[in-house]
Amino acid sequence: MSKYHFLKVEKIVRETPDSISVHFEQPANQRISYKSGQFLTLLVPVNGKTERRSYSMCSSPISENNLVVTVKRVEGGKVSNFLNDQLKPGALVEVMEPMGTFTIEPNADKQRHIILIGAGSGITPLMSIAKTILHTESRSRVSVLYGNRNEQSIIFKEELASLTQKFAGRLDVIHVLSQPASSWTGHIGRLNQSLVLKMLEHLPKWADTEYFICGPDGMMEEAKQALRILQIPSERVHSESFLTVTKEPVHGEVVEDTTGEVKDYTVTIMYEGAEYKVAVPAQKTILEAALDNDIDLPYSCQSGMCTACMGKCVSGKVLLDEEDGLSETEIKQGYILTCVGHPLTSDVVIEID
Ligand code: FES
């Protein structure tokens, strides 16, 4: 199946003054399957250059037909501002296959408590997870701890309220605002460690509980620290960094390590049945060198987060500037990210699916 599709915009819903949800129609002849929590990478032509940006889907593959991404305006962001200001229903947008490992497998037999902790547009993948669990697992419950600046900045405010009514007794949404109006009667503050601990204290305690965290890095670290204090096993805690690219993707520092030297090497890349020899200069990543040679490898964030550029190193040694996008097991199995990868030996061979 092709990694790229053109999707038609069915409608655009303004969620808050600075965010929209873009509803894409499923292609009639080739339905795109995805998991709750995954993201779509959009290829958007802005000022004559195609920009790639990844946006989490808020739609549920179980309860909705459309694929829906939510785009929050980023100050100075070329793509988020373009989409917020200029995208219109009927437009065709090129997208890559859905990707991402911040997902949940629904299971109708399960009886569990899913606790979702998010701030700002970090709610987007959590919304998809919430809807999927509520529609699939009739004995499970979902609690959402959701931080925002004020009431106007709450994305999905009405939809969350109507889901809370529809799934009464199985869905709790607890808002916390850092700069609320004086009429606000809910929690006030930032979703930091102490507030997360306080809010969790009031939730029902179920033996089978899973935590999903998405938002700005600082908030995620505070929430994870709270869960460490509660000695929640790490395999029950899932998190996704807030993938907002605010600047042009930049090249990371080339990190020297003690086991090899980063210098110019030629790398062999096996991709879609072809074999390419790519000269990779020391100051470039494998992906940059391949793109310079017009080899159209898959990629998205260019910062080692999204795994769109993942390949397997089947020979030689590769140094990664950034390893966070891969699990320890994947690294042990030889998986690499070409966007942050540099060859350390002359015999590097990379296979890309
Ligand atoms: S392009 Fe996103 S991890 Fe490499």
Residue 51 pLDDT more than 80?
A: yes
pLDDT of residue 87: 96
Q: What residues form DSSP beta bridges with 237?
A: 211
**339 CA closest ligand 1 atom index:** 4
* pLDDT exceeds 90 at position 14: yes
Reduced to 3 states (helix: H, G, I; strand: E, B; else coil), residue 83 is helix
Cβ count within 10 A of residue 73: 17
- Tell me, rounded to whole angstroms, the distance of Cα 262 from its chain centroid: 30
Choose which residue among 54, 306, 318 to substitute to test ligand 1 binding: the one with the highest number of ligand atoms within 8 A of its C-beta.
306
The string of pLDDT tens digits covering residues 68-125 is: 999 999 888 889 999 999 999 999 999 988 988 899 999 999 999 999 999 999 999 9
Tokens at 156, concatenated: 């999905």
Provide the mean pLDDT of the chain: 90
Look at residue 240 and tell me whether its pLDDT is greater than 90. no
pLDDT category of residue 249 using cuts at 50, 70 and 90: very low
pLDDT, tens digit, 9 for 90 and up, residues 340-353: 999 999 899 999 98
Residues 284-307 have pLDDT tens digits of: 999 999 999 999 999 888 888 888
pLDDT the model gives residue 2: 53
pLDDT tens digits along 174-205: 999 999 999 999 999 999 999 999 999 999 99
Which range is least confidently modeled, 49-53, 126-130, 139-143, 225-229? 49-53
Is the CB of residue 337 below 6 angstroms from any atom belonging to ligand 1?
yes
Q: How far is the CA of 340 from the centre of ligand 1 (A)?
A: 8
Query: How many A from CA of 185 to the centre of ligand 1?
Result: 42
Residue 307 in contact with ligand 1 by CB distance below 6 A: yes
Q: Would you say the CB of residue 243 lies under 6 angstroms from ligand 1?
A: no
> What is the number of the ligand 1 atom nearest to the C-alpha of 304?
3
| Ligand 1 binding pocket includes 134 (Cβ within 6 Å) | no
Between CA 305 and CA 241 the distance in angstroms is 8
Mean pLDDT computed over 22-28: 95
Is the CB of residue 310 below 6 angstroms from any atom belonging to ligand 1? no
- Strand ordering across the sheet containing 39-46: 49-56, 39-46, 92-96, 4-16, 19-24, 67-72
pLDDT exceeds cutoff 70 at 247 = no
Pick from 96, 291, 301 the residue to mutate for probing ligand 1's pocket: most ligand atoms within 8 Å of its CB. 301
Position with higher pLDDT, 1 vs 30: 30
